[in-house]
Chain A
Amino acid sequence: MIIGGGPAGLEAAYNIAINGYKVTILEKDNEIGGNIKKWVKLFPDFGDAAEIRKAFADKVNKGNIEIQTGVEISELYSENEKWFAKNGNNVIYSADAALLATGFEAFDARRKEELGYGIYDNVITSVDFEEMYKTGKILTAQGTVPKRIAFLNCVGSRDEKVGNHYCSRVCCINAVKQATEFKELVPDAEAYCFYMDMRMAGQFYEELYRKSQEKYNVNYIRGRISEAAATFDKRIQIKSEDTLTGLPMKMTVDILVLMVGIESSASTTELSRQNGINGEYGFAKSLGLYISDNLTKKAGLFLAGSCKRPLTLPETVADSRAASVQILNYLKLN
């Protein structure tokens, strides 16, 4: 039984089923795919998200895997070495082992009201940017082509005030990717990226970061944006400080993109709390970081993917395979 039909859940389902076990995937959305459903191209090589999603779907489209979509699990518990999951309509699913692959949710940018998300139409999030990019155009709320765009990193990450001290790890490179995409669409426009640190620790990340500056002329400014306000023509005036020159700055942009961080999903928080495996910030807690990162203190309950912490897609897939091995071992020995 796998809770969550995103990359982690799908990859594990395939690996377990191919070994002759019957697998049920319980997905709360009406379609499988998880958070990659929202993406068009993936960093760092602009891989097609739809294609990757299709590859995952093909993998699980085989005999032993039952996919239940539109099923949101509200309770997860074990009795006599069996695992049970109950949805809102009190339908109970049972299995010999359960895998929590409930993933992440994007930070709700409304919680940083000073940045104006949900208040000014031209303040959008990185998720909204992808949504817009699907249409092949990046336009302001008034339908005009933007002349200047700003990306702000660390919205809801590394932010004591909102209680998230951790780094979400994917937003820096995602901002580089989106700024590059924007410049490809609107070469004459200016793109600015406000950051605390550019954390480019992944294969091809640094190269992409460099290319965005050299080829696409994206400007990187070290400083956070303290507040945003709308001007009379509905553009966004931002206040920041360039901490490298030590000067305060004011700038008016057509679109402000907030690079929202990764937070634990509601299901992750709730189901791990029920099983006493709740870790920090609402994420699920594994038994140990080094050699038992897919196990929990409850026998038969396993973890995979970004329900534990922010992970990139390749990391999630690798982690999910590791979880599959642990589950197969468990099923064999019990």
Chain B
Amino acid sequence: MNYHPFIIPFSAGAIFLFAVVIYKFVKWFRNLDRKQMYFVNKNIFSFKTIEAIGETFREALIHRNIYKKNPLLGYMHMSLAFGWFLLIAVGKTESSFYAGTFFEEPWLAIFFKYFAKEQHSYFMAAEFSFIMDLLLLIVLSGVALALFKRVRSNFLGMKKATKHSKFDRIALASLWWIFPLRLLAESTTAAVAGNGNFLTGTVGNWLSGLPVEAIELPMWWAYSFSLCAFFVSLPFSRYMHIPTEVALIFLRKWGATAGEQYSGMTDLQLNSCSRCGICIDSCQLNFAADINHVQSVYFIRDTRYKKLTDEVANNCLMCGRCVEACPVGLELTVIRQQLRNKAEIPGKHYFEYNKAEESKNKTDVIYFAGCMTHLTPSIIISMKKIFNEAGERFWFMDEDKGLCCGRPMRQQGFVQQSKDLISKNMRLIASSGAKMMVTSCPICYKSFTEEYVLDIPVMHHTEYIKMLMDKKRINVKKSDLNMVYHDPCELGRGSGIFEQPRDVLRQTGNLRVSEFEKENALCCGGSLSNTVIELDTQIKIRNHALEVLTESKPDVLATACPLCKKSFVHGNKAKVMDIAEIVADCLNLQSEKNEKKSVNKKESIEFI
């Protein structure tokens, strides 16, 4: 038997690792919620499983997503992950050929060079020797890059590297030692036996001046111990992401997503974070306000180790830029929301005054301005003008300002209160007989589309205006204004509405591009989600965004969210207009030509 006591640390570490990982996986899978289990059962024996295998290969081994963002960083991850994987796979094949059976000692592949010291002739021995040296070299180049990244993170295109915990440092140090030690162990053996390929052979030659026979065994022992240290620390360090990410890819392919409440899926995502720190660079709190301890990487880490403070959980704009940047595709804002859902205050019922459960207004379209839009009345006036021009019969649902979509309460963690309010609103909406709902506020829009069960379509006014223009129900003349469009977080990244507002703006003026657009758009700083930062910090974020957006000195900074509008107006740097206002200004009024054609007389009286 190919045996030497130095395999014991490695074997013990590996057994420990498998036991812990299996224990954790079982625990998390049992904590999946109903909906997640439903998807697992539904899709586990479907084509999706094969797709998941493909994605595992692309993301967990080749790291295509990191490659796309940063090739050098991608190479670093690929050389370590895929390189090591191949080292194991090819090594296993080689040792099987050598032993002549697939069931050789499990550790043989790991310490192969030691046990196969004497020249042996097995199938493709020379080729294997070359490939194994090449793979080791590739992995070592990854380790070298990783070391260099620690010292100079900006070399690899990262402005800020993650600050790591103690366990991470142990795991990281042992990971760095594994491959240099393997090289030294294999090289000393090569020197003793007088063989080795281009890498181990060459290094072996350099070492031949030393008493190689005396240091050979200590090197193999050290190699085995470094593997053991890595395996033992892995489940408690960020390297847990290696096995967990694979499980996450499968679950995601089957259709499971993080729900409203903390579940096994949350644990899986927490453990899938590799703490690469890409989210730090994308965070405006970091680059515009110099707050460096609340980013998703730290939030996820603190949650995983049960050290999360309220301050970290709530100090986030929920703009979603990190979700866009995350190479693992974690549902970072959803998880943060789960951790905020705690303040269940019993006995306190809001909106009790909202007695209206039946709408007396039978209508075609419901207009819901939203509380923030009531603070920017020019948007409401413009929308009324547009409705009237299109001859739309509409009911201004929250004209009396008493209603709320429910989202702000929910974002602060008052989930039950928010649900009560939502069910009241749903009855009100259903009883109006409307065929469509239009809102001016992206926050309300997201609430209506995601948290309500409605059998009528909900549109943000950008979509609605676009539809009216496409159907020629309103006509606009193009102005000569130069405009830059700011994507509101909840409308753009949050709801995927990027093109409709741009189409509308192209027909009403000259749309210019800005540096941060669409998925990469900045937050205006006025986010309601952050209950920690004070106004001066919000102003820093707003001023930075305003600086970027007005770089081309546009006549108008266009947006489609009352909150963004208010933030930017207070910055006092450019003329800020909502899309509805721009369109209302550019209308070719039909109603002026043939007066009093208006379909709904009642509405035209209300028109201010």
A contacts, CB < 8 Å to B = 111, 113-114, 116, 119-120, 160-163, 227, 229-230, 232, 234
Q: Are A119 and B377 in contact (CB under 8 A)?
A: yes
CB distance from B558 to the nearest CB of A (A): 16
B interface majority secondary structure? helix
Q: Are B569 and A119 in contact (CB under 8 A)?
A: no
Q: In whole angstroms, how far apart are the Cα atoms of A119 and B578 in the complex?
A: 14
Q: Are B608 and A230 in contact (CB under 8 A)?
A: yes
Rank and list the top 4 A-B pairs by shortest CB-CB distance, nearest first.
A114-B375, A230-B608, A113-B376, A160-B535
Q: Are B572 and A163 in contact (CB under 8 A)?
A: yes
Q: In whole angstroms, how far apart are the Cα atoms of A161 and B375 in the complex?
A: 14
Q: Taking A232-B605, A234-B608 as contacts, is the C-beta distance between A162 and B570 under 8 angstroms?
A: yes
Q: Taking A111-B569, A113-B566, A161-B570 as contacts, is the C-beta distance between A227 and B606 under 8 angstroms?
A: no
Q: Which of B376, B535, B570 has the most CB of A within 10 A?
A: B570
Q: Are B377 and A114 in contact (CB under 8 A)?
A: yes
19 other A-B residue contacts (CB within 8 Å) besides A113-B569, A160-B535: A111-B569, A113-B377, A113-B565, A114-B376, A114-B377, A116-B377, A119-B377, A119-B381, A120-B608, A161-B535, A161-B570, A162-B570, A163-B570, A163-B572, A227-B374, A229-B374, A229-B377, A232-B608, A234-B608
B549 an interface residue at 8 Å Cβ cutoff?
A: no
6 sampled A-B residue pairs with Cβ under 8 A = A114-B375, A161-B535, A161-B570, A227-B375, A230-B608, A232-B606
CB distance from A14 to the nearest CB of B (A): 36
CB-CB contacts below 8 Å: B568-608 with A: 569-570, 572, 605-606, 608
Contacts of B606 in A (CB 8 A): 232
Contacts of B566 in A (CB 8 A): 113
B378 an interface residue at 8 Å Cβ cutoff?
A: yes
Contacts of B535 in A (CB 8 A): 160-161
Contacts of B569 in A (CB 8 A): 111, 113
Q: Are B572 and A113 in contact (CB under 8 A)?
A: no
CB distance from B593 to the nearest CB of A (A): 25
Contacts of A234 in B (CB 8 A): 608
Q: In whole angstroms, how far apart are the Cα atoms of A113 and B608 in the complex?
A: 16
Contacts of B378 in A (CB 8 A): 113, 119
CB distance from B350 to the nearest CB of A (A): 15
Contacts of A160 in B (CB 8 A): 535
Q: Are A113 and B374 in contact (CB under 8 A)?
A: no
Contacts of B375 in A (CB 8 A): 113-114, 227
Q: Are B572 and A111 in contact (CB under 8 A)?
A: yes
Closest chain A residue to B575, Cβ basis = A110
Contacts of A161 in B (CB 8 A): 535, 570
Count B interface residues, CB 8 Å: 16
B539 an interface residue at 8 Å Cβ cutoff?
A: yes
CB distance from A186 to the nearest CB of B (A): 25
Q: Which of A111, A113, A227, A230 has the most CB of B within 10 A?
A: A113
CB distance from B361 to the nearest CB of A (A): 16
Q: Are B374 and A163 in contact (CB under 8 A)?
A: no
Contacts of A163 in B (CB 8 A): 539, 570, 572
CB-CB contacts below 8 Å: B361-380 with A: 374-378
Contacts of A229 in B (CB 8 A): 374, 377
Contacts of A114 in B (CB 8 A): 374-377
- Interface 0/1 of B535-549, CB less than 8 Å to A: 100010000000000
Contacts of A230 in B (CB 8 A): 608
CB distance from A159 to the nearest CB of B (A): 9
Q: In whole angstroms, how far apart are the Cα atoms of A113 and B565 in the complex?
A: 10
Q: In whole angstroms, how far apart are the Cα atoms of A111 and B570 in the complex?
A: 6
Q: In whole angstroms, how far apart are the Cα atoms of A120 and B377 in the complex?
A: 9
Contacts of B608 in A (CB 8 A): 120, 230, 232, 234
Contacts of B570 in A (CB 8 A): 111, 161-163
Closest chain A residue to B399, Cβ basis = A229
CB distance from B555 to the nearest CB of A (A): 16
CB distance from A269 to the nearest CB of B (A): 11
Q: In whole angstroms, how far apart are the Cα atoms of A120 and B378 in the complex?
A: 9
- Interface 0/1 of B554-569, CB less than 8 Å to A: 0000000000011001
CB distance from B533 to the nearest CB of A (A): 13
Contacts of A116 in B (CB 8 A): 377
Q: In whole angstroms, how far apart are the Cα atoms of A302 and B395 in the complex?
A: 61
Q: In whole angstroms, how far apart are the Cα atoms of A300 and B381 in the complex?
A: 53
CB distance from A283 to the nearest CB of B (A): 15
CB-CB contacts below 8 Å: B217-275 with A: none
Q: In whole angstroms, how far apart are the Cα atoms of A227 and B565 in the complex?
A: 16
Closest chain A residue to B526, Cβ basis = A161
- Interface 0/1 of B325-350, CB less than 8 Å to A: 00000000000000000000000000
Q: Are A162 and B572 in contact (CB under 8 A)?
A: yes
Closest chain B residue to A239, Cβ basis = B401
- Interface 0/1 of B376-392, CB less than 8 Å to A: 11100100000000000
Q: In whole angstroms, how far apart are the Cα atoms of A227 and B377 in the complex?
A: 9
Closest chain B residue to A160, Cβ basis = B535
CB distance from A332 to the nearest CB of B (A): 42
Q: In whole angstroms, how far apart are the Cα atoms of A35 and B381 in the complex?
A: 33
CB distance from B524 to the nearest CB of A (A): 13
Contacts of A162 in B (CB 8 A): 570, 572
Q: In whole angstroms, how far apart are the Cα atoms of A290 and B171 in the complex?
A: 63
Q: In whole angstroms, how far apart are the Cα atoms of A119 and B378 in the complex?
A: 7
Q: In whole angstroms, how far apart are the Cα atoms of A190 and B178 in the complex?
A: 85
Q: In whole angstroms, how far apart are the Cα atoms of A294 and B436 in the complex?
A: 65
Contacts of A232 in B (CB 8 A): 605-606, 608
Contacts of B605 in A (CB 8 A): 232
Contacts of B572 in A (CB 8 A): 111, 162-163
Q: In whole angstroms, how far apart are the Cα atoms of A273 and B147 in the complex?
A: 47
Q: In whole angstroms, how far apart are the Cα atoms of A234 and B608 in the complex?
A: 7
Q: In whole angstroms, how far apart are the Cα atoms of A116 and B374 in the complex?
A: 10
CB distance from A201 to the nearest CB of B (A): 28
Q: In whole angstroms, how far apart are the Cα atoms of A229 and B570 in the complex?
A: 20
- Interface 0/1 of B115-152, CB less than 8 Å to A: 00000000000000000000000000000000000000
